Amino acid sequence: MKEEYIKMRNNKVIDVSVLYTFVRDQGASMSFESFKFAMPFLDLNHILDHIDRTYELVKLYDKNDNFIKIVE
């Protein structure tokens, strides 16, 4: 799961199924359809920051504070 998440982040394309897998692994019991429905109402940056901290990942940013990539 961690490798899939890092690949998703480094490709800079959000894969809802990867995020859903993380949420299910954390004990949530919602369906995938409910999760997809809720996504537009959630703070994606907060979710990504939480997952980054959970996996203890290091984020690289350029001098303008733009995300570059995740490193371990």
List, as one string, the DSSP characters of 14-62: --HHHHHHHHHHTT----HHHHHHHGGGS-HHHHHHHHHHHTT-EEEE-
- Tell me the pLDDT of the chain (72 aa) as tens digits: 999 999 999 999 999 999 999 999 999 999 999 999 999 999 999 999 999 999 999 999 999 999 999 987
Tokens of 1: 């799961």
Is residue 55 within 8 Å of 5, Cβ to Cβ? yes
Our count of domains for the chain comes to 1
Instruction: Identify the domain containing residue 64 by its residue range.
Output: 2-71
Instruction: Give the pLDDT of residue 72.
Output: 78
* pTM for the predicted model, two decimal places: 0.86
Instruction: Give the pLDDT of residue 69.
Output: 96
